Amino acid sequence: MTSEEKTLTEVRKEAQKKLMGVCGVYKICDGDAMRICQGQSYGRPLGFGGIGTGASFNNNVLALKKLRLKMKVMGDHFKADTKYDFFGTKLSMPIMGASIAGVNSFGGENVISEKEFCRSVVLGCKAARTLGWRGDTYTYSLDNSYGIDAIAEAGGLGVKIVKPREQEVIIEFFKKAEKAGSVAVGVDIDGCGSYAMSKHNKPVFKKNIDDLKELVSSTKLPVIVKGIMCVEDAIAAKDAGAAAIVVSNHGGRVLDHTPGTAEVLPEIAAELRGKIRIIVDGGVRTGYDVLKMLALGAEAALIGRDVVRAAVGAGIEGVRIQMEYMQKTLAKAMKMTNCQNLKEIKRDILY
């Protein structure tokens, strides 16, 4: 075990103490019914778990677990190049911090304040030379935008994602993010099933193509549509002018019994790869998982729950350590499957 891995272990141990009774910070985070976070939820907050039985959360992990990597080590020695260009911003890796928001969902203000959580994700990712995405929750408003504030503090190195609120509200959030210098903005359309928003009487809506076209035309920034789980929605997002989609089931938190994202990604990539940027989240815990997602057709991956734990465990430094671990394990996986750079990652490295 390297010194970095020991440091990440220490970060996770500290998070485990702070998240007592909310998240076990297990070695395997899979949404199994026996985990602290999971079990059928009857009116209580979701916490870290998935909705209902947790099957969607669990399926994300199981779908990745089923995939095997083809080890191929004969040939000239090389150091894998993980650099990635995201809308003109040069990143050290095709891995970014997902747009999880709301400290109330995983332990409350006594664990970490919303402001410090947002700063930890964005500035920690920046320190690892990648981007932190910032989301939206019922406590957020145009006057209370910690995520956008953190992106501004980071010199614009971040992405702002908004729940599918009223059109005019989303557009105002986009304008504020644009002023902060955000790399891109977006809407998580699967947020129309948000437990937290509905419980706190913050209306969210399903969006159609015309709605998305209006959002795309409202900003100069690239617009990302997050929450895609079928080819039909992916095509609709492209037709609306979206610059990217995120294949995502919201971490298994909005609809029980969906497939894992790694199960639906190949069909979506077969239809749209090269026509729109395809990003993915769901069950991604290591660089090995990222490599599998890239081999299935995504160009980048987001990590959520582990970034939360890193932020709780050690703030900005914890997130930096977590993201650097992701980059190093991706580079190791690429080396051992004979992929010198991201373009060389193909489906044939999977069994």
What CATH number does the domain containing 227 carry?
A: 3.20.20.70
Other Cβ atoms within 10 Å of 31 Cβ, number: 25
Q: Cα(109)–Cα(102) distance, rounded to whole angstroms?
A: 10
At 130, the amino acid letter reads T
Q: Which two tokens stand for residue 187?
A: 């809407």
Q: What domain range includes position 288? A: 84-349
Residue 14 lies in a domain: no
Tell me how many degrees the CA angle 160-245-272 measures, rounded to the nearest 5.
160
State the residue for tokens 């000239």.
Answer: 76
Instruction: Find the farthest-apart pair of alpha carbons in the chain and give their distance in angstroms, rounded.
Output: 60
Q: What is the value of pTM for the model shown?
A: 0.95
Tens digits of per-residue pLDDT, 203-224?
999 999 999 999 999 999 999 9
Q: Over its length of 351 residues, how does the chain's per-residue pLDDT go in tens digits?
A: 444 556 899 999 999 999 988 889 999 999 998 898 886 556 666 788 999 899 999 999 999 999 999 999 999 999 999 999 999 999 999 999 999 998 766 665 678 999 999 999 999 999 999 999 999 999 999 999 999 999 999 999 999 999 999 999 999 999 999 999 999 999 999 999 987 888 888 999 999 999 999 999 999 999 999 999 999 999 999 999 999 999 999 999 999 999 999 999 999 999 999 999 999 999 999 999 999 999 999 999 999 999 999 999 999 999 999 999 999 999 999 999 999 999 999 999 999
Residue 71 lies in a domain: no
Task: Assess contact for 310 and 260: CB atoms under 8 A.
Answer: no
Residue 214 lies in a domain: yes
Q: Cα(198)–Cα(200) distance, rounded to whole angstroms?
A: 5
| Pairing between β-strand 89-91 and β-strand 84-86 as defined by DSSP bridges | antiparallel
Give long-range contacts, CB 8 A cutoff, 24+ apart: 20-23.
Answer: 22/47, 22/48, 22/106, 22/107, 23/47, 23/48, 23/106, 23/107, 23/305, 23/309
Residue 327 lies in a domain: yes
| Start-end of H helices in the chain | 3-18, 55-65, 114-127, 146-153, 167-179, 195-199, 209-217, 231-239, 261-272, 287-295, 305-336
Tens digits of per-residue pLDDT, 102-154?
876 666 567 899 999 999 999 999 999 999 999 999 999 999 999 999 999 99
Domain count, the chain: 1
Q: Cα(143)–Cα(263) distance, rounded to whole angstroms?
A: 39
Task: Assess contact for 290 and 282: CB atoms under 8 A.
Answer: no
Please provide the DSSP assignment of 159-183 as one string: EEEE-S--HHHHHHHHHHHHHTT-S
Q: Cα(173)–Cα(161) distance, rounded to whole angstroms?
A: 9
Task: Assess contact for 46 and 105: CB atoms under 8 A.
Answer: yes
Residue 77 lies in a domain: no
Residue 29 lies in a domain: no
Residue 6 lies in a domain: no
Tens digits of per-residue pLDDT, 152-166?
999 999 999 999 999
Task: Assess contact for 292 and 69: CB atoms under 8 A.
Answer: yes
Residue 280 lies in a domain: yes
Q: Cα(119)–Cα(176) distance, rounded to whole angstroms?
A: 17
